[in-house]
A and B are shown apart, each in its own frame.
Chain A
């Protein structure tokens, strides 16, 4: 599907949308977020969370459940999961 751009200089430019991905889904951040990976790191986080909240949590499940929006700079941090 395409449409005329309605250019300000009255030049007609056709924009082709077929297969277009929104620009916000195209880019990547130059570095990945540092996530906890090792069993020791995850266990330490779980220990701390249980100490503070009294609730046992599965760190891997929380990572897998979301939080990807925390990864970019100037993102702010995720509020969508838990």
Chain B
């Protein structure tokens, strides 16, 4: 009989990883935490080409060693994290790059080659789903309404788009990182005066959606919870001043949410929508490991228990990973 263990790969102080572990333990279950930012403290080994095949070994946050083949489910929450040791070592920029990339590639390689269970989410699917253009393309393909969008660094195209939407446009980045977060902003004629600034970096330009209602949907393969925010500003993750309430999706939207997860080959995702002044709902983006713990605090949902239960009840897929 194969032992069924559940693991999460995330930084040591990851709020979501700690919260689901706490909920699991309260119910007599265990979720093991593999710290993606503490590789130097928690060594791990993968072996190849040996006479006797040995499963990869790794140590969890409590210092306990595990064989990777003992696990049936792995929450691939935040596998790529800056290593904590860099600050202790006062590493140079080049050294930091080596340390971080070595940790990332080792951990990912170890899990991709040794883990035979179910990733939440599959690493390849997760990487693909991080692309905003892929998200929009897939959302449109399954019938979700999306804002008029271009991704370009062609100055003429941007100018033409700006005029076409009568100046009601936003510009957003393809990427953010933990250290560099670039806010979406309204596009102005002044910003467009500098052609070089358009050409130097392709961006996403969208027609601005006027409205005050935002939906955040935390979706798993077979279950979801949603929260509605009412505000003419998008609240922060921990803004208690805006009205936030649990929201029931209609059957059509629910179906499309699951269809999008399926289209992107994801088991988990956090989707953002905005409703315009005419009532039309627009898909904005999906974060394949988006934040959701704060929703329980601000709106009284039970997303953390839902995700915990999903992890504990998930089994291996027919095709675990590629």
Contacts and interface: CB of A to CB of B under 8 A. Distances in A.
Most chain A beta-carbon contacts within 10 A, residue among B13, B177, B196, B270: B196
A68 to B, nearest CB: 4
B156 interface: yes
B272 interface: yes
A49 B296 CA distance: 8
Contact of B238 (A45, A51, A76): A45
For the residues of A in contact with B, the DSSP-based class is: loop
Contact of B239 (A17, A27, A34, A82): A34
Interface residues of B, number: 70
**Which of B18, B201, B238 is the most central at the interface, judged by chain A CB atoms within 10 Å of its CB?**
B238
B208 interface: yes
Contact count band on A: 35 or more
Contacts of B192: 23
Nearest to A23: B197
B123 to A, nearest CB: 16
Interface in A53-75: 53-55, 57, 59, 62-63, 66-75
Interface of B: 11, 13-16, 18-19, 22-23, 26, 78, 147, 156, 170-173, 176-178, 181-188, 191-192, 194-201, 203, 206, 208-209, 216, 233-242, 270, 272, 274, 284-291, 293-294, 296-298, 304
7 contacts: A17-B200, A22-B200, A29-B186, A66-B181, A67-B237, A68-B181, A73-B170
